[in-house]
Amino acid sequence: MKFFSLDLKHHRTPEENKKNLLECTAFCILLLLAACLALGLWGAGVVEEHAALKEAGEEYWDSMFKYLLLFAVFACCAFVMYCRQTGTLTEGKLVAILFLLALVARLVYTLEIGITTNQHDTSWFGKEGNNYGHTGYIKYIMENGIPNFDVVGKSQFYHPPLHHIICAWFLEQQVAIGITFDTAAQNLQILTLFYSMVTLYASYRILKIFEFKGLSLFLPLTVLAFHPTFYLFSGSINNDCLSVMFVFLAVWAALEWHKKPSFFTISLLAFCIGCSMFAKLATGVVAPAVAFLFLHKLVTERDWKGRGTLIAQFALFGVICIPLGSAGRCGTTWPSIPP
């Protein structure tokens, strides 16, 4: 059971290191060869199973994404065992491996489902008639800019437009360089995949602020890395993933500010909260918790000069956060044009 310990510091003699190096290298090579052989045999079986070469090729590469994760797991396990046996395993390496596995798993998921599966309130860009889902919102901004009509009753058009503006700009840039619209639409998952990975990194930084180490760090981080919710977010093209990313970044910034207040940190905090509400109004629930941190810091500050500095920081917070957050107010996202 010693192998499974998270005590990353080991002291071995040079002879022990050399022996472990040879044994572990041989094992890792065999493990990777076994993984490659399994993938090759499986791929050959798929090609032989179908008569049409084109169909076989498409299914082969489509299903290969699923086995990319399996190969990544084999490779990461081999690397961990190699580092563990040679005494070079560190917390940073384990975190990097965890991030790599999470990225590959989410990438496989997004490549497999596309933007027509496991979505919520999206519809499809090519739908005839009125499309007021998230895709219709994105396409409208791409073609016409920000809606200047009353958005009440227009399904997803009531949402603040940050996510949809970013998606519309991303679509427009892809189409401008010759990518077909359907392919460009599928590529919107690149954005949400990126958001989900930033959320995972923010989670890691939050855990580090609380000085979690060993199992207390890796257990919650593993849950966050492989929780199904973040898989769904990484493949969904609605505004959930962007808003959650900014909430996690806001929590990280709030904790950093509480530990060491500065104008720079509180500016980042204000920006993250404002952008989270500019992406989805419901994320405003983070504001009361941040307000409590502000109050606690102000009450516990004994120096009047320090309190004056804090009040100035609160003012800067309001100057940045209120305009961004108010863009996502209830009812309509922006002023309506009278009929």
Cβ count near 304 (within 10 Å): 8
Indicate whether 82 and 151 sit together in one domain.
Answer: no
Does residue 111 lie in a domain region? Answer: no
- Residue 14 to residues 20, 42, 247, 297, 326, Cα–Cα distance (Å): 10, 42, 48, 52, 64
Query: pLDDT tens digits for 155-179?
Result: 677 778 888 889 889 988 988 888 8
Q: What is the pLDDT of residue 7?
A: 45
Q: What is the pLDDT of residue 28?
A: 54
Q: What is the pLDDT of residue 9?
A: 46
Cβ count near 41 (within 10 Å): 10
Give the total number of structural domains in the chain.
3
| Joined tokens for residue 105 | 């798993």
Does residue 82 lie in a domain region? Answer: yes
List of residues 6+ apart from 60 with CB closer than 8 A:
43, 46, 47
Does residue 291 lie in a domain region? Answer: yes
d(CA 40, CA 46): 10
Domain span at residue 144 reads 134-187
Q: What is the pLDDT of residue 253?
A: 95
Query: pLDDT tens digits for 175-207?
Result: 888 888 888 888 888 899 999 999 999 999 999
Can you list the residues of the chain whose pLDDT is less than 70? 1-72, 74, 78, 81-87, 118, 120-132, 149-155, 328-339
Q: Which of 36, 64, 89 marks a domain boundary? A: 89
Does residue 203 lie in a domain region? Answer: no
Q: What is the pLDDT of residue 329?
A: 56
Indicate whether 85 and 157 sit together in one domain.
Answer: no
Indicate whether 181 and 247 sit together in one domain.
Answer: no
Let me know: does 223 contact 119? Beta carbons within 8 Å. Answer: no
Indicate whether 138 and 62 sit together in one domain.
Answer: no
Indicate whether 85 and 138 sit together in one domain.
Answer: no
Does residue 334 lie in a domain region? Answer: yes
Does residue 169 lie in a domain region? Answer: yes
Q: Which of 168, 187, 206 marks a domain boundary? A: 187
